Amino acid sequence: MKKILEFIDLESGRLRKTHDNYPDEEKRALARMVKLSEEVGELADEVLSFNSMQRDEKQANHNSDSLSEEVADVLIVTLLLAKTLGVDVEKALEKKIEKINKRYEK
Ligand SMILES: [Mg+2]
């Protein structure tokens, strides 16, 4: 997780340099939320292909790497969005996992 979050810090800095048209955090968060929606759509496309539910032309573009690549895109953009919103992802995950686990203790 540490290595992934280091990459997110690095990538966030690189994106700030290449996409400096979002000077404030509010616009940056909204832009990343829109980007996340785009990536979720791409993942949905891959899931349909994985289940052979696409028309032939779309099905042809699918390969074993493209599904895992889209899963990674969704995770990376989610982490970039969390960084923009100041969410401590490690703490958030620990707290949520604990909450989920408690559901099964009853
Ligand atoms: Mg993608």
> Looking at residue 12, which CATH number applies to its domain?
1.10.287.1080
Res 41 pLDDT > 80: yes
Res 64 pLDDT > 90: no
Cα-to-centroid distance, 92 and ligand 1 (Å): 24
The H or E element spanning position 85 is: none
Cα-to-centroid distance, 77 and ligand 1 (Å): 9
33-38: long-range pairs with CB below 8 Å, 24+? 33/81, 35/77, 35/80, 35/81, 36/74, 36/77, 36/78, 36/81
Q: What is the DSSP letter of 52?
A: T
Q: Which pLDDT band, with edges at 50, 70 and 90, does 106 fall under?
A: confident
> What does the block give as tokens for 92?
């958030």
Cα-to-centroid distance, 61 and ligand 1 (Å): 13
Say what the pLDDT of residue 25 is: 86
- For 15, counting Cβ atoms within 10 Å of its Cβ (0-12 exposed, 13-18 middle, 19+ buried), the class is middle
* pTM (two decimals): 0.90
Say what the pLDDT of residue 59 is: 84
Cα-to-centroid distance, 47 and ligand 1 (Å): 13
Say what the pLDDT of residue 17 is: 87
Q: Which domain holds residue 46?
A: 2-103
Q: Which pLDDT band, with edges at 50, 70 and 90, does 97 fall under?
A: very high
Count of structural domains within the chain:
1
- For 62, counting Cβ atoms within 10 Å of its Cβ (0-12 exposed, 13-18 middle, 19+ buried), the class is middle
